[in-house]
Amino acid sequence: MRSWSEAQDAARVLQLTLRSEEVRGPADFDRVFAEMMREHPAALLLISDGLVLQHALQSVDFAARNRIPSMLEHSELVAAGALIGYGPRIADLWRRAANYVDKIFKGAKPADLPVEQPIKFELVINLKTAKALGLTIPQTLLLRADQVIE
């Protein structure tokens, strides 16, 4: 997965150790959370697929209850208590997918449609969560944020 590879590259530069936990179904989340607590993680990074996104609130709640800073790829979930979100807006992705469906319904061949990547990314920071975790977010990062939740 490209996001995981990029996270590993960044971790090497920052001399951090990442640990990946695979979830294949809803029941796996409790097992993964229990394993994480034995490791005493410094942070939680959610790299989303359909299942992880569907259970993201459960993960954000787990992180908040255990005072673990959390970061997600979808900024919409930061208001639920995650510390930071950086990625494309989910609503924009669905809107773009709907445009593809519309073109196909109007006769376009899927193979003829270009593959698109998200072009707009959003950085959202939750200062309420930062305060609860005893963290200070640098002003330079706050100035770069598209949205700051207080």
Q: Please count the other Cβ atoms lying within 10 Å of the Cβ belonging to residue 65.
A: 10
pLDDT in tens, 93-118: 888 899 999 999 999 999 999 988 88
Cα gap 83→70, rounded to integer Å: 5
* Number of domains the chain is built from: 1
Q: What is the CATH number for 53?
A: 3.40.50.2300
**Position 108 in a domain:** no
Identify the domain containing residue 7 by its residue range.
2-89+119-149
Nearest to 71 by CA among 50, 52, 47, 89: 47
pLDDT in tens, 72-96: 887 878 988 999 999 888 788 888 8
Paired tokens of 18 = 């990442």
